[in-house]
Structure 1
Amino acid sequence: MTDARGPLTHALAALARVQTARIDDEIAARLSGGLPDVALENADPATIAAFRARAEAELETPWPQPRAHDAARFHLDGDRISWEHPAFARQHRLTRVAVLASGTGEDRWIDETLDGAIMLSEQSSWCWPAHDDTRARHGSVLATVTDPYVDLGAGEAVGQLAWLDHIAGDVVEARYPGFRARLAHEARVRVLDPFVARRDWRWIDFGGRVNNWNPWIHGNVIAAALQFLDGDERARVVSLAIEGMDLYVASLPEDGAIDEGYAYWWNGACRLVEALDLIAHATGLDATGEIAAVRETIAFPHRMHLGEKWFVNAADGQALQRDPQPWHALHRAARRIGDETAASFAALHRDPSMSAVAESEGLGRVARGIADADWLAAGPGADPLPERTWLPSTEMLIVRGATGSAAGLAFAAKGGHNDESHNHNDVGSVIVASDGVPVVVDAGRPTYDARTFGPDRYDLWPMQSQWHGVPFVRGAGQPAGERFAARDVVAGDREISMDLAGAYDVPALAEWRRTVSLDGDDVLIDDAWRFDEDGDEPTEVRFVLAGEVTLTSGSARVVPLSGAAPVALTWDPDAPATLEEQLLEDPMLSHVWGEHLTRLSIDVSDRTEISVRVRHNEPMKERR
């Protein structure tokens, strides 16, 4: 390690009762164990049954095969999912059969595990094509096998083989001698050796901007080091991973907020606490509860919950939980630090009649959750639904009528700036939920392609401020960049106020004061603004609505999704308004919102203030 020590290193050193300068030696001396034991004889029966049913159905079918020309498509036409979908499907199948091979010892599952693992070992690259730097370094649109790039995909692959070797290596090796040596070789040449040899991995800090790649990859590297290395090599890799994760821990705000949004918590902060779990197992040093930001981030999921499967989303996060999440990982972390509220919220998602884990979580997460006795026995759980959550690091306030109930209206409003992780230009945006279901919404992200993280990102409508609940000022939306930010943000008990003028490149805009409050049972959005000179360009206050919308003079009635109570947005009828539908053909968006979203635009060009009230339009009907 270098001498630049962060909160994780200091916490580990304090636990070990040594100086930080000695923590490398202390880690090396304490690394006595590999990966945690998995008692598959106590595995969740529902998960085993589900894995077996899917595995038997595909037993005589070809394994999914990612193809070379699909790998190259990212560079040719921007498509990334044509390669990713079969690659992911193959790894999901391998997870299923590895669990069955380990749990049953049956030859058919051992054979399947061998085939899947060797196919993965013979895949040209574990790096997802969208991440590979081979074109920049070698001018190639295909992976350079002699210069592997360590990314999220390579991390997931090496982590999968580490856990596979841990739970099923013995039974496969007994039938196919040499199997385990092959896995260890591939882990070394594709990930472990490059990780140590090449220290310019941009995902460690992205030039000073740390995001979820850091703990996600480092956690998988730690798992592989514990399984495939020993002695000084193991200590070196684990120490480097701790050093790298220290940057992520240092970037976590004290309030535990994730500016990438709730959906990214699972593959960011959650990956961190899972990595800390591995470190604690291998060294006896558990830093999870020793760092305030880590303790606070374990509360982040329940603080973002609106109701049912709906969550406050920001940036590229999604409002509707789409895939199974590893609630067992949250449950385990909350138990370790004694956060009963977070543990109970996680337990709310444990249904004994359903699988306790899902193969899409990855084999490491499956192995940790499938036989976790506390998780399997968890329930029924409770939803805290706090009345007020204020996250100063992201300048987000969430307010609902009462603690513990999703009934009625709730709002979330954020300040922030336009260079956050997975940024959308959304300073000042507002979300309103009716009975826990978003009705004034943030659309979230589309399917990723070559434009998503390149210079054309803001050509995509979901990333533009024009399709967020923020003003459109004199013909201009908000530009991207950290300098475009909210100013003078003040959060009260039931309201938040901020100046949005700094979020626009409109020189004549002197101030735009937005105040969002819970006014009795209603949500009130008050806007007042001032220009230094006259102008002819249109100015509008905009909101994005989910559900069926009917516009009349001074009012828009919305029948929300999921059977929530209808709401009405009302304003001065002298301010004309229009509706524009955005058809949703991208399944990443239509899965959440259905066939369309609707933008409400209120023309305020002839005035300097307006109030929009959101209220329940009629009593809640029975949910569909």
Structure 2
Amino acid sequence: MERSELLAIVSSMEKAELGLYYPNGDQESFWSLVRESSSYEKELSEIRQEGERLSAVPVPELSYSLFSIYSLTGSRLEYERVYFERRRMMNTFTFLSLIEPERKEHLNQLGDILWSICNEFTWCLPAHLGTENMDRTIDLFSAETGFALSEIRILLGDRLAPLLHSRIQEEVRKRLFMPYLTYGPYSWETATHNWAAVCAGSIGSAALLILEDPEVLTDILKRVQVSMNCYLEGFGEDGACLEGLGYWNYGFGYYVYYADLLRKRSKGALNGFALEKVHSIAGFQQKCFLNGDLIANFSDSQPEGRVHMGLSHYLSAMYPDVQAPPLSLRAAYHEDHCSRWAPAFRNLIWKDTTKDPLEWGAASYYLPDAEWLLSRHADADNAGTYGFAAKGGHNDEPHNHNDLGQFILLGNGTVYLSDLGSGEYTSAYFGEARYSYDCNGSQGHSVPIIDGQYQVAGAEAKAVVLKAETSLTEDVLVLELSGAYLQSNLHSLNRSFVWQKREFPTLTMSDEFHFAEAPAALIERFVTFCQPLLDKGSVILKGKDDRGLRILYDASLLLPIITEHSYRDHFGAHKTWLGIDFHSLKPAKNERYVFEFQFINNLK
């Protein structure tokens, strides 16, 4: 769109007001409904509990000692825990001020934390700052903070002191608008992942809420649209988010928050939901869940998933084929350890209290651009619920793991073959040592180890899909994986998955290797958190309620050895995982290993 055309639309916009959020702009009626409706009982209880906790403690300080930890050790958690606690205070006291407007102490506490956040040395995290021109840096969290403050300023209106109004305006201008327009372009502006959507979307949203000068607002919106287009380029037509479900919630969430405000302020003239690709991306969430809250957690993703109910209901209303999630998957108020304002607020204002959908049913999906196969299976005769996921792709994806051929297998609430997901974010985690971490390197995935060598990183390390089919009874994925290994001796490696959806489903996986010369060593590794039991030609993994999984293999070809490994998860907790390493007894030039995975209903 030409600038002149955009300027004409911006010039016709009415002032940002409460009608962006509530029917007829009636904020008082909405929060009265929230107080009185049983549909919001859990949310209110969670917010009030946080309010009681936070009211009993002073605003924590972001000290120099905390700030310097990252530069000294590479550790992020110490500073970020305090930073996010301060955002939790901002969110909680804002909500309490809206829910219980008669209680003046909430507004006083809100004023203190808003003032304190405006006083912060930087709204960025130390991990995202260099040593020079720190006042020019805009990262995810500085942009989110500016968006949050701008929105809170509108919602509280004249209940906030004029000094707080002007202070918020000035800090957002100084920390976001001025550097964005003066010192860019920033590297994230053309990123094809979550940074583009979150940073640009937050700046654009803050501008829509604060700026009155149509010329300046036009300049910002025009640049934001470039970033949003770049963000969408990171998706294939299948709508899959290669960063995983958590980053779909994050990046696509901020795309939606911005697109919603833009559509409303422009009276529909600027509609970021009209593209078919956006429609496709909106349907990604419902495909990721394999059994209850257990998801296909490829990349830097958590094994359990929760949904932002407000975002989910908004998308379900926008696109009829996007299914509203079961209420059992609702993310509780305290679950977002980053305490992001935008999704927390919309979990309330976008919640559709008329929806009470059932659990997501059986379904299989093949996403051809991502090369992911995803399947939920539920037996009608109550044999259980099961899930399977496998991936091809390449080893230069956003938040990349070297994981071509990786697969996940679960049943009745137990993940038998796992993906470690995201580890603790440190400087080294995103540095040259990234693939030394089990979470990221192929050593921590259920893929072969050839002559002691793991998969390599890079876009040239890619899978070739030979076959991909889904049906009511059987799903098939066949991948050629030799490109993942720097092995001139390896001519080909075909990995085949056949997922048969019976009363008790079975997975048959085979690897067929062809070498120029016989390798010295060949290991088939499977990753699990379950304790394996070796049992005469099979390995048994115990699940919940005397259920389990049996892994059948050819004992004349392979010898299973259990190895123990450890890592730190995303929250810094020490975790132990087990490798079931099937060693080839006498590897030859041509080898084919077949594994059958059978679910067991009674281990007694």
Q: Which residue of 2 aligns with 1:212?
A: 194
* Residue 167 (1) aligns with residue 151 (2): no
The answer as to 2:283 corresponding to 1:299 is yes
Q: 1: CA distance between counterparts of 2:375 and 2:349?
A: 38
Q: Where does residue 188 of structure 1 map in the other structure?
A: 173
| TM superposition shift of 1:349 | 3.7
CA contact (8 A) 2:313 2:352 kept: no
The amino acid across from 1:149 in the alignment is T
Counterpart position of 1:580: 563
> Residue 498 of structure 2 corresponds to which residue in structure 1?
517
Matched, 1:179 2:164: yes
**Conserved 8 A contact 1:468-1:544:** yes
Q: Output the CA distance in 1 between the equivalents of 2:575 and 2:425.
A: 19
Q: 1:429 and 1:229, CA in 2 relative to 1: closer, same or farther beyond 3 A?
A: same
Shift of 1:359: 9.1
CA contact (8 A) 1:387 1:403 kept: no
Residue 567 of structure 1 is matched in structure 2 by 549
Q: Which runs of 5+ in 2 are unaligned?
A: 35-39
Letter in 2 for 1:314: F
Instruction: Give me the whole-angstrom Cα distance separating, in 2, the residues matched to 1:438 and 1:567.
Output: 10
Instruction: Give the stretch that moved more between structures: 600-609 or 117-126.
Output: 600-609
Aligned equivalent of 2:513: 529
Partner of 2:123: 126
Please tell me the residue identity of whatever aligns with 1:485.
K
Does the 8 Å contact 1:306/1:436 carry over to 2?
no
Q: Could you list the runs of 5+ residues in structure 1 that have no partner in the other structure?
A: 1-8, 10-19, 139-143
Pick one of 122, 139, 157 that aligns with 1:151. Answer: 139
Give the 5 Å matches for 1:479-518. Answer: 479-493=456-470, 494-518=475-499
Structure-1 separation of matches of 2:95 and 2:246: 27
The answer to whether residue 72 in structure 2 is matched with residue 90 in structure 1 is: no
Distance 1:359 1:163 in 2: 21
CA-atom RMSD in angstroms? 2.6
CA apart distance, 1:193: 1.2
Query: Which has the bigger relative contact order, CA under 8 A and spacing at least 6?
Result: 1
- Distance in 1 separating the partners of 2:147 and 2:281: 24
Q: 2:369 aligned to 375, 383, 393, which one?
A: 393
- Cα displacement string for residues 405-458 of structure 1 (whole angstroms, at most 9, x for unaligned residues): 993543211111100000000001111111354211111111101112111111
Worse-superposed segment, 196-205 or 439-448: 196-205
Alpha-carbon distance in structure 2 between the residues aligned to 1:356 and 1:504: 42
Cα distance in 2 for partners of 1:330, 1:163 equals 21
Q: Deviations over 1:107-153 (max 9, x none)?
A: 211211111011101110001110113x2x46xxxxx3xx3311011
* Shift in Å, 1:391: 0.5
Counterpart check, 1:279 vs 2:262: yes
Superposed displacement of residue 291, structure 1: 1.3
For 2:469 and 2:178, how far apart are their aligned partners in 1? 52
Counterparts of 2:422 and 2:336, CA distance in 1: 23
Distance in 2 between residues matched to 1:557 and 1:160, nearest whole Å: 50
- SS of aligned partner of 1:573: coil
Measure, in 1, the Cα distance between the counterparts of 2:223 and 2:399: 26
What is residue 477 of structure 1 aligned with on the other side? Answer: 454
Written as runs of structure 1 = structure 2, the 5 A alignment for 1:127-526 is: 127-133=124-130, 135=131, 137=132, 144=134, 147-173=135-161, 177-206=162-191, 210-231=192-213, 232-285=215-268, 287-321=271-305, 325-339=307-321, 341-343=322-324, 345=325, 347=327, 349=329, 361-372=339-350, 375-401=351-377, 407-435=384-412, 437-493=414-470, 494-519=475-500, 521-526=505-510
Residues 23, 503 of structure 1: alpha-carbon distance in 2 compared, 3 angstrom cutoff: farther
- Among 100, 113, 117, the alignment partner of 1:116 is 113
Query: Shift of residue 23 of structure 1?
Result: 4.1
Percent sequence identity over aligned pairs: 22
- Which residue type is aligned with residue 360 of structure 2? P
Q: How far apart are the structure 2 equivalents of 1:68 and 1:162?
A: 27
For the residue of structure 2 that corresponds to 1:433, the secondary structure is strand
CA–CA separation in structure 2 for the residues paired with 1:403 and 1:22: 59
Change (3 A) 1:616 1:90: same
Q: Read off the aligned partner of 1:515 and give its amino acid letter.
A: S
1:290 partner SS = coil
Does 2:23 align with 1:41? no
Which has the higher mean CA deviation after the structures are superposed, 419-428 or 156-165? Answer: 156-165
Conserved in 1, the CA contact under 8 Å of 2:47 and 2:333?
no
**Superposition deviation, residue 223 in structure 1:** 2.1
Question: Closer, same or farther in 2 for the Cα pair 1:398/1:479, shift >3 Å?
Answer: same
Deviations 1:579-622 (A, max 9, x none): 112245546486xxx9532111111252401101100123499x
Partners of 1:47 and 1:566 lie apart in 2 by 36
Query: Equivalent residue for 1:16?
Result: none
Q: Please give the secondary structure, in 2, of the residue aligned with 1:512.
A: strand
* Gap change, CA 1:76 and 1:486, over 3 Å in 2: same
Kept after mapping to 2: 8 A contact 1:410/1:523: no
Local SS of the residue matching 1:183: helix
Q: Which amino acid aligns with 2:582?
A: I
For 1:446-485, what per-residue CA distance to the aligned partner results, in whole angstroms no more than 9, with x for missing partners? 1101112111111212111011011111211001111111
Q: Please state whether the residue corresponding to 2:527 is helix, strand or coil.
A: strand
**Would the aligned equivalents of 1:325 and 1:361 in 2 still touch at CA under 8 Å?**
no
- What is the CA-CA distance between 1:255 and the residue it aligns to? 0.7
CA distance in 2, matches of 1:564, 1:160: 48
**How far off its partner does 1:247 sit?**
1.2
- Give the superposition deviation at 1:30: 4.2
Letter of the 1:495 partner, please give it: V
Tell me the CA shift for residue 331 of structure 1.
1.1
Asked if structure 2 preserves the Cα contact closer than 8 Å seen for 1:569 and 1:614, the reply is yes
SS of match in other structure, 2:255: helix
1:314 is displaced (CA, Å) by 0.7
| Residues in 2 aligned to 1:202 and 1:360: alpha-carbon distance in whole angstroms | 23
For residues 596 and 100 of structure 1, do their structure 2 counterparts lie closer, same or farther at Cα, with a shift above 3 Å needed?
same
Task: Give the 3 Å change call, closer, same or farther, for CA 23–523 of structure 1 in structure 2.
Answer: farther
Larger CA deviation: 463-472 vs 233-242: 233-242
Equivalent residue, structure 1, for 2:37: none
Q: Which ranges of 4 or more aligned residues in structure 1 deviate by more than 6 Å?
A: 354-359, 403-406
Aligned residue number for residue 15 of structure 1 = none
After alignment, is 601-610 or 148-157 more displaced? 601-610
Provide the rounded CA distance (Å) in 1 between the counterparts of 2:509 and 2:561.
Answer: 18
Secondary structure of the corresponding residue to residue 452 of structure 1: helix
**Aligned residues of 1:276 and 1:287 also touching (Cα < 8 A):** yes
Shift of 1:533: 2.1
Matched residues in 2 for 1:53 and 1:409: separation?
36
For 1:266 and 1:69, the matched residues in 2 are separated by: 33
8 Å CA contact 1:33, 1:283 repeated in 2: no
* Alpha-carbon contact 1:316-1:422 (below 8 Å) kept: yes
In the alignment, residue 186 of structure 2 is paired with which amino acid?
A: W
Q: Is 1:59 the equivalent of 2:55?
A: yes
